[in-house]
Amino acid sequence: MKKILLVFISIFLCIFAFNNKVSANSSDLDRIDEYYVTVSPNLDGSLHMNIHIKWTVLQLDDDGKGVTWIQVGTPNMYVDNIAVSYNCHIVDDAYYYSADGSHIRLDLIKEYKDNDTFTVDYSYDQSYMYHINENELYYDYVPGWFEDITITKMIIKWKDSLGVELSDNYPGYELIDGYYTQTFNNVRYYNSSSLETYRIRTKYSDMSLFTEGIDPDKTYSERYLTDKEIIIIVCIVVFIILGIIAFIIYAYSQMDPYTRERGFYGRYRPFYFYNYYPRRTGVHRLGHSIEPPTTPGGSSGGGFGGGFSCACACACAGGGRAGCSKKDFYQGKVNLSKLKESLKNE
Query: DSSP secondary structure string, 30-45?
Result: EEEEEEEEEEEE-TTS
226-252: pLDDT as tens digits: 555 556 666 777 668 878 887 777 666
Q: Pick from 196, 218, 240: which residue ends a domain?
A: 218
Are residues 200 and 244 located together in one domain of the fold? no
Tell me how many degrees the CA angle 185-191-193 measures, rounded to the nearest 5: 80
Residue 337 within a domain: no
**Percentage of the chain lying above the pLDDT 70 cut:** 61
32 part of a folded domain: yes
- Which of 71-93 are b and which e, b meaning 16 or more Cβ less than 10 Å from the residue's Cβ? bbebbbbbbeebebeeebeebee
Whether pLDDT at 287 is above 60 = no
Are 175 and 299 part of one and the same domain? no
Contact (Cβ atoms closer than 8 angstroms) between residue 71 and residue 104: yes
When mean pLDDT is compared across 152-166, 216-230, 328-342, the lowest value belongs to 328-342
In the predicted model, what is the mean pLDDT of residues 253-266? 51
Give yes or no for a contact between 143 and 198, defined as CB atoms under 8 angstroms apart: yes
Looking at the fold, whether 181 and 318 belong to one and the same domain comes out as: no
Bridge partners, residue 37, by sequence:
51, 156
- The domain total for the chain is 3
Q: Is residue 245 part of a domain?
A: yes
Q: Is residue 4 part of a domain?
A: no
Q: Are strands 150-159 and 30-41 parallel, antiparallel or unpaired?
A: parallel
Residues 204 and 238 in one domain: no
Same domain, yes or no, for 131 and 200? yes
Sign of CA dihedral 3, 5, 6, 7: positive
Which whole-number Å values give the CA distances from 332 to 125, 222, 328, 336, 344, in the listed order?
76, 65, 6, 11, 22
Residues 107 and 170 in one domain: yes
Q: Which residues contact 121 (CB under 8 A, 6 or more apart)?
A: 50, 51, 52, 53, 84, 85, 87, 88
Q: Quick one: 151 and 209 in the same domain?
A: yes
Q: Which of 84, 145, 158, 157 is nearest to 118 (CA)?
A: 84
In a domain, 8, yes or no: no
- Residue 145 within a domain: yes
Return the CATH number at 144: 2.60.40.1730
Burial bucket for residue 126 (CB in 10 Å: 0-12, 13-18, 19+): buried
Q: Tell me the average pLDDT across 273-290.
A: 46
pLDDT band at 207 (very low <50, low <70, confident <90, very high): very high
- Domain-terminating residue out of 235, 254, 273: 254
Domain check: are 182 and 271 in the same one? Answer: no
**Residues 239, 276: one domain?**
no
Assess whether 72 and 39 both reside in one domain.
yes
> Would the CA dihedral through 243, 249, 254, 256 be positive or negative?
positive
Q: What is the pLDDT of residue 249?
A: 75
277 or 316: which carries more pLDDT confidence? 277
- Residue 244: the pLDDT is 84
Q: Are residues 56 and 72 in the same domain?
A: yes
Query: How large is the average pLDDT for residues 143-161?
Result: 94
What does the alpha-carbon distance between residue 66 and residue 52 come to, in Å, rounded to a whole number?
A: 21
Q: Which residues contact 222 (CB under 8 A, 6 or more apart)?
A: 75, 76
Q: In terms of pLDDT, which residue wins out, 216 or 224?
A: 216
CA 255 from chain centre, in angstroms, equals 41
Overall average pLDDT of the 96-111 stretch: 92
Each residue's pLDDT tens digit, 13-48:
444 444 444 455 778 999 999 999 999 999 999 999
Q: Are residues 96 and 51 in the same domain?
A: yes
Q: Which of 153-167, 187-201, 217-231, 255-269 has the lowest mean pLDDT?
A: 255-269
Average pLDDT on 192-210 reads: 89
Average pLDDT of every residue of the chain = 75
For residue 238, the enclosing domain spans 224-254
pTM of the model as a whole: 0.61
**Is 16 contained in some domain?**
no
Is 45 inside a domain boundary? Answer: yes
